[in-house]
């Protein structure tokens, strides 16, 4: 079989499309390969549909908790089929439009099939063999499935499938206490499912700052059946019921959602056949320019595994496009101040260093925390879980990290992200003018507090003592 020759092959149609579009615009002959809906995980199975469902959950939870504000309301019915149809109507249309746009695009050839490397810069796609001097691997990840006796036979859902299930489960068990468990636990729990969350660790969202993780765990323990430091040892199906052996007892549910992390798709692509190296976790290894060890082969996004976030993949894609098309102006990716959010209830927004990481790395820091309900707006909405925590360099005042839990945390943290990105000190927020009584005052209060601690620490050094943390 004769190879089809291209200038560029892009595998994956999430953020990889930014590279293929830029290259085609420069007149390069581009092959785009995708074995699923166009638009990648974020559009079809991740960020977008999950946040559509989160909004539904937020609406339902607002109604369910309205009585504390003197508003007596109730939910008459949850129309799950309508919720699913509303969620995916525009998503499916967008995916189809992206596919059609690529089919019609000048200089782009679309291949709708799975890809695998069969030699040096040679890719098999269905019955076709493609080759190019430049290849971009942007094929993402898939749900990681733990080896639990009986799991495969009993059946389970993942993020790929659970948001489209035909009926709302009466009892949902979630295996995993990370961001997926937090978000989808909120979704299904708010609209009527009895939710049990099972996690091997002692707390929810353990990658977050320890104070945030602790508060999230407390909040979810009030809402759900939370099984901490627990492990599913066996799964059995009895008719429509799943029985999970957990510790000395068992849990019965109608649907089991496995949310135990993500696995790189590098193995399915057989990247080793073209010489591309992966790390011990199976993710493609790249340098700061997103080049793999094979000249002309690049990688970006979740398959690289630095940050499994859509905005990170977009950042990397912009750099890959620039570095391929303008090699004399290559730029390294700057990951400084990469933010993240968890759209549970409460929400979490975070950026930078956690307190436990600062301690582990021996980095000196000053820290301060301010509660939502210590501000006028925070008290008015009765957010008694929410707080803002700031870590800063006690010498320069530069922000090391900011962690927010509570109402609109994903929005509030952005102020800290913007300052951190340009390595500006806490004083910029502390000395600014904030609208009263907006919720943003909680950000200013936390930053003003840590700024005072830093100032006191400097004065203390002059008098022989300090008030900041020395890790």
The neighbouring-strand residues paired with 194 are: 171
Counting Cα atoms < 13 Å in the Cβ hemisphere of 175 gives: 27
CA nearest neighbour of 367 among 377, 358, 376? 358
Distance spanning both ends of the chain, measured CA to CA: 62
Cα–Cα distances in Å, from 144 out to 102, 140, 152, 281?
A: 30, 13, 13, 12
Cα separation of 41 and 48, whole Å? 9
Choose, from 384, 436, 461, 465, the residue flagged as catalytic.
Answer: 436
**Predicted pLDDT at 218:** 98
* Ordered structural domains, the chain, with CATH: 4-143+263-329 (3.50.50.60), 151-260 (3.50.50.60), 346-462 (3.30.390.30)
Q: What is the mean pLDDT of the chain?
A: 96
Active-site residue flag, 436: yes
**One-letter-per-residue 3-state SS of 303-326:** HCCCCCCHHHHHHHHHHHHHHHHC
**Predicted pLDDT at 466:** 40
**Predicted pLDDT at 461:** 60
Torsion angles phi and psi, residue 86, rounded to 5: -65, -40
Q: What residues in the chain have per-residue pLDDT under 50?
A: 463-468, 470-471
CA nearest neighbour of 195 among 204, 206, 184, 203? 184
DSSP labels, 385-437: S-EEEEEE-TTT-BEEEEEEESTTHHHHHHHHHHHHHTT-BTHHHHTS---TT
Determine which helix (DSSP H) or strand (DSSP E) holds 219, and give its type and residue range: helix 210-223
Give the distance from CA 407 to its chain's centroid.
Answer: 18
Largest alpha-carbon pair distance within the chain?
80
In the numeric block, which tokens belong to residue 355?
């307190």
Question: Percent of the chain having pLDDT more than 70?
Answer: 97
Give the distance from CA 245 to its chain's centroid.
Answer: 29
**Predicted pLDDT at 178:** 97
Contact 460, 467 (CB under 8 A): yes
Express each pLDDT in 33-65 by its tens digit: 999 999 999 999 999 999 999 999 999 999 999
Torsion angles phi and psi, residue 35, rounded to 5: -105, 5
Tell me which residue has tokens 């166009």: 38
Give the distance from CA 451 to its chain's centroid.
Answer: 30
**Predicted pLDDT at 459:** 78
Torsion angles phi and psi, residue 262, rounded to 5: -125, 150
The model's pTM is: 0.95
Contact 133, 327 (CB under 8 A): no
């Amino acid at each position: 079989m004769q190879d089809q020759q291209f200038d560029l092959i892009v595998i994956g149609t999430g953020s990889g499309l930014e590279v293929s579009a830029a290259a085609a615009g420069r007149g390069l002959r581009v092959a785009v390969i995708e074995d699923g809906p166009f638009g990648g995980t974020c559009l079809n199975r991740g960020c977008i549909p999950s946040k559509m469902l989160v909004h539904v959950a937020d609406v339902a939870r607002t109604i369910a908790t309205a009585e504390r504000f003197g508003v007596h309301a109730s939910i008459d019915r949850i129309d799950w089929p309508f919720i699913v149809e509303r969620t995916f109507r525009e998503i499916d249309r967008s995916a189809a439009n992206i596919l059609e746009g690529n089919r019609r695009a000048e200089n782009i050839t679309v291949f709708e099939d799975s890809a695998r490397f069969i030699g040096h810069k040679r890719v098999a796609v269905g019955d076709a063999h493609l080759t190019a001097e430049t290849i971009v691997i942007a094929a993402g990840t898939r749900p990681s499935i733990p080896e639990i006796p009986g799991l495969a036979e009993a059946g389970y859902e993942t993020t790929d499938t659970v948001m489209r299930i035909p009926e709302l489960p009466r009892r949902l068990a979630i295996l995993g206490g990370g961001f997926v468990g937090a978000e989808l636990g909120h979704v299904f729990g708010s609209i009527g499912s009895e939710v049990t969350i099972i996690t091997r660790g002692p707390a929810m969202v353990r990658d977050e700052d320890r104070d945030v993780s602790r508060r999230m765990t407390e909040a979810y323990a009030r809402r759900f059946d939370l099984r901490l430091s627990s492990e599913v040892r066996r799964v059995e199906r009895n008719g429509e019921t799943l029985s999970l052996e957990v510790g000395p007892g068992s849990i019965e549910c109608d649907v089991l959602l496995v949310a135990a992390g993500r696995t790189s798709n590098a193995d399915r692509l057989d990247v080793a056949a073209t010489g591309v190296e992966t790390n011990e976790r199976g993710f493609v290894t790249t340098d700061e320019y997103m080049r793999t060890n094979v000249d002309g082969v690049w990688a970006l996004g979740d398959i690289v595994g630095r940050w499994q976030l859509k905005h990170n993949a977009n950042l990397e894609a912009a750099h890959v496009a620039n570095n391929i098309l303008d090699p004399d102006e290559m730029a390294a990716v700057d990951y400084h101040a990469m933010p993240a959010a968890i759209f549970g209830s409460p929400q979490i927004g975070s950026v930078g260093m956690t307190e436990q990481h600062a301690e582990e790395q021996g980095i000196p820091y000053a820290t301060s925390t301010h509660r939502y309900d210590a501000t006028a707006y925070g008290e008015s909405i009765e957010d008694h879980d929410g707080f803002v925590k700031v870590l800063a360099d006690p010498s320069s005042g530069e922000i090391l990290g900011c962690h927010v839990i509570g109402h609109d945390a994903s929005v509030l943290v952005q102020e800290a992200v913007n300052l951190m990105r340009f390595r500006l000190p806490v004083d910029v927020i502390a000395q600014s003018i904030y609208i009263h009584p907006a919720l943003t005052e909680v950000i200013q209060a936390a930053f003003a507090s840590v700024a005072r601690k830093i100032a006191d620490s400097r004065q203390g050094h002059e008098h022989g003592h300090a008030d900041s943390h020395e890790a």
